[in-house]
Amino acid sequence: MQAMPNLKGSSMLWPVIALVLGGVAAALLLRWYYQAPSQPGASPNPKLVAMFNDRLDAALARLTPAHAAGLSPQAADSARAFLSRVTELTQHCRYQSHVTVHNLVVFDLTLSDGSVVKDQYSGGQRCPDAQVPGVPILRIRMAQGKAVEITSDGSERQAPPTAMVPALDQIIKHLIGYDQGLRPSAYFAASASAADLEKAWASPTDSTRPAPTSPTSTTGGKAGPDGPSR
């Protein structure tokens, strides 16, 4: 007599097979969903280099206590020393552009010692795509504290050069801001100590200002040699 197939055993395998196939599909979906976004294009733009360096010079000129209270007089020199160590800044989208409307542009920073700092905030710029056009993402190669080459996909040429100025300013702001976060004492003046504050509040008057004087006349008349005129 021919043996009957073990239907019970086969029926128990189907949930296992479905679970395995579901896991594989989920893994492939997640890999597609979170795969690394494309890097900036390879089209060089010499005008962007000149614009970037001009905006960088302007930003460094503003790194003084006269322009921003609390800055150290050495702030600009500290920024220049940091920038001299930067060899490349590469912007990219945090996710693939189709993933989410909250997909922001970040940047990776390569320093002269070979270290790479990943995914730094770049000012809240949304990743450009076909549905949400915007300024292109850039690769900025630097030497001796200045940009020497900037490449992109070339889409910046579809608008006037002035349209790129806000984006360049944001890049520079957050590039220097990265080092400010690491070395605040190199950029900001030291806060007053508790002893300094106590001394300042204990002083009855501010020695840098003259003491107020009472008016010589309450009648508004002109004072003569012997007193106010009547």
What percentage of the chain reaches a pLDDT higher than 90? 50
- H or E element that contains 180: helix 165-182
Instruction: Out of 28-32, 125-129, 197-201, 226-230, give the one with best mean pLDDT.
Output: 197-201
In the predicted model, is pLDDT for residue 149 greater than 90?
A: yes
Contact criterion met (CB below 8 Å) for 176 and 79: yes
Q: Which is more confidently placed, 58 or 4?
A: 58
Contact criterion met (CB below 8 Å) for 151 and 40: yes
In the predicted model, is pLDDT for residue 13 greater than 90?
A: no
Residue 53: beta bridge partners? none
CA 92 – CA 114 distance, rounded (Å): 19
Residue 214 pLDDT = 52
Task: Note the residue count of the chain.
Answer: 230
Q: What is the mean pLDDT of residues 52-60?
A: 98
CA 136 – CA 182 distance, rounded (Å): 28
Name the one residue in this structure whose structure tokens are 């690394």.
36
Q: Which is more confidently placed, 136 or 35?
A: 136
In the predicted model, is pLDDT for residue 16 greater than 70?
A: no
Residue 135 pLDDT = 79
Q: Which is more confidently placed, 108 or 122?
A: 108
Residue 15: beta bridge partners? none
What pLDDT band is residue 23 in, cutting at 50, 70 and 90?
low
Describe the strand order of the beta sheet including 146-152 as a list of residue ranges. 43-44, 146-152, 139-143, 86-93, 104-111, 116-126
CA 148 – CA 108 distance, rounded (Å): 17
Residue 142 pLDDT = 98
Tell me how many helices (H) and strands (E) the chain has. Answer: 5, 8
In the predicted model, is pLDDT for residue 82 greater than 90?
A: yes
In the predicted model, is pLDDT for residue 31 greater than 50?
A: no
What pLDDT band is residue 187 in, cutting at 50, 70 and 90?
very high
Residue 32 pLDDT = 43
The reported pTM is 0.70
Mean pLDDT over each residue of the chain, to the nearest integer: 81
CA 72 – CA 188 distance, rounded (Å): 5
CA 148 – CA 198 distance, rounded (Å): 51
Tokens for 90, please give them: 């590469």
Q: What is the mean pLDDT of residues 43-62?
A: 98
In the predicted model, is pLDDT for residue 228 greater than 50?
A: no
Contact criterion met (CB below 8 Å) for 125 and 134: yes
Hey, is 137 helix, strand or coil? coil
* DSSP for residue 52: H
